[in-house]
Amino acid sequence: MIPQPRRAAFLDRDGVINHDLSYVGRAEDFVLIDGVAEALRRLRDAGYVLVVVTNQSGISRGYYSKVDYERVTERMTELLAAHGVAFAAIIHCPHAPADRCACRKPQPGMLLDGAAITGVSLRDSVLFGDKPSDIAAGRAAGVGRCFLVGPGEPALVGAEGGGADLLACVRSLLADPGETMV
């Protein structure tokens, strides 16, 4: 048997995993979107390692601290661990746009780091995000399939499976694994 390449599901956080309240800097404001735990379990069972890639410019803007961010991360980890879901990596960009860093999406830095940490093939990986900048980062990194999640404009940037929540996008991915795009 030919071994399957390792692959990841890269997940934006706010608006994909939890409700996006513009800036989520307090653990009590972190609320899972319905169906997310099941979606993540399905991805895991299909052989995807789970990697969170999240822009957190609220840190640079002074809306909340790195410690606050870490508390929110802990809350996310605990809530999902209760459903048997664990992340292989949780990567954040603390910078503001003016910092011109290489990690803030639409830059691909966090995806490249995530692939290096987990040893996955980007081409065999998938990405789920709720903003065009998520999709742009996925494309720039060479992620095989990128899904625009949530109530955003489904026609935007021609992403696959737009306009539906994470669970619906995961269902459509797993029902039709498809060919990875070049």
- Residues near Mg ion (CB under 5 A) are 12, 14-15, 130
CB-CB contact of 61 with 95 (8 Å): no
Residue 179 neighbours by CB under 8 Å, 6+ apart = none
Asked if 101 is part of the footprint of Zn ion (rule: CB under 5 A), the reply reads: yes
Please count the helices (runs of H) and the strands (runs of E) in the chain: 6, 6
Asked if 105 is part of the footprint of Zn ion (rule: CB under 5 A), the reply reads: no
Closest to Zn ion by CB, 56 vs 167, is 56
The interface region with Zn ion, picked from 26-34, 39-47, 78-86, 99-107 by CB under 5 A, is 99-107
Peptide bond into 94 cis (omega under 30): no
Q: Choosing among Zn ion, Mg ion, none, which partner's interface includes residue 165 (Cβ < 5 to 8 Å by kind)?
A: none
In the complex, minimum distance from the CB of residue 95 to Zn ion, in angstroms, rounded to a whole number:
3
Q: Choosing among Zn ion, Mg ion, none, which partner's interface includes residue 95 (Cβ < 5 to 8 Å by kind)?
A: Zn ion
Asked if 103 is part of the footprint of Zn ion (rule: CB under 5 A), the reply reads: yes
Structure tokens at 58: 């609220």
Element spanning 8, H or E? strand 7-11
DSSP letter (8 states) at residue 144: S
Q: What one-letter code names the amino acid at 2?
A: I
In the complex, minimum distance from the CB of residue 60 to Zn ion, in angstroms, rounded to a whole number:
8
Q: Choosing among Zn ion, Mg ion, none, which partner's interface includes residue 15 (Cβ < 5 to 8 Å by kind)?
A: Mg ion
In the complex, minimum distance from the CB of residue 150 to Mg ion, in angstroms, rounded to a whole number:
8
In the complex, minimum distance from the CB of residue 160 to Zn ion, in angstroms, rounded to a whole number:
26
> Which of 95, 105, 131, 145 touches Zn ion by CB under 5 A?
95
Please, is 97 exposed, middle or buried when counting C-beta atoms within 10 Å of its C-beta (0-12, 13-18, 19+)? exposed
Asked if 59 is part of the footprint of Zn ion (rule: CB under 5 A), the reply reads: no
The count of residues interacting with Zn ion (CB under 5 A) is 5
Q: Residue 72, CB half-sphere, CA atoms under 13 Å: how many? A: 26
